[in-house]
């Protein structure tokens, strides 16, 4: 059997995600949200950089609302050409539909935090922390430029494969949370 390309895996796993029922999304998202909100990484962080979920992704909206309630500094991404920047939001009303139909911050202060948690999206992951994202390379570049942030990814169990091929420029998250597992890839254990 030939190894699938990133593009093939991306297409196949987007289709699988679209096929999830609202109940499957809700149940899995609640399990991941509970793990994340109970983690010492979350409890100890002041800044949470997080995308707004769409298209049956693991729900991040409830995490955003909880983080705002917990007085975290919450920032959401906006793309500018080849780069992505995060803008602080004070509530869901700070988000407007932008490019590609994605909710993004409107008229909010741009942040450049050197520490905190960065939530990283992905379509397919492997047990070694490699990820296939949406193909733009925005998060790979952002993680490389902000090594002090703890990168955490959320995935459904079926999105984690034994191994996927990766490129030299691919950045790995520090942690991957699924409904049934917490994978840690922290090289230097930032929290010991």
Binding residues: 6-10, 52, 57, 131-139
For the annotated binding site for ATP, the residues are: 6-10, 131-139
CA dist 81 and 128 (Å) reads 30
For the annotated binding site for substrate, the residues are: 52, 57
Contact of 103 with 74, CB cutoff 8 Å: no
Contact of 2 with 9, CB cutoff 8 Å: no
| Residue tagged 């992704």 (tokens) | 57
CA dist 62 and 80 (Å) reads 26
| Token pair recorded at residue 57 | 């992704």
């Amino acid at each position: 059997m030939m190894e699938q390309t990133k593009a093939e895996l991306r297409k196949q796993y987007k289709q699988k995600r679209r096929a999830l029922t609202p109940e499957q999304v809700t149940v899995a998202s609640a399990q991941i949200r509970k793990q994340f909100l109970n983690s010492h990484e979350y409890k100890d962080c002041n800044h949470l950089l997080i995308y707004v979920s769409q298209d049956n992704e693991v729900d991040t909206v409830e995490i955003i609302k909880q983080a705002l309630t917990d007085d975290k500094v919450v920032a959401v991404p906006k793309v500018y050409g080849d780069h992505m920047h995060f803008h602080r939001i004070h509530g869901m009303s700070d988000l407007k539909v932008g490019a590609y139909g994605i909710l993004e911050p409107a008229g909010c202060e741009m942040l450049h935090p050197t520490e905190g948690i960065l939530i990283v999206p992905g379509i397919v992951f492997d047990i070694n922390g490699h990820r296939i994202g949406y193909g733009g390379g925005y998060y790979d570049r952002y993680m490389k430029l902000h090594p002090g942030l703890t990168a955490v990814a959320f995935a459904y169990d079926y999105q984690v494969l034994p191994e996927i091929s990766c490129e030299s420029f691919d950045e790995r998250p520090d942690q991957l949370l699924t409904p049934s597992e917490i994978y840690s890839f922290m090289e230097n254990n930032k929290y010991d």
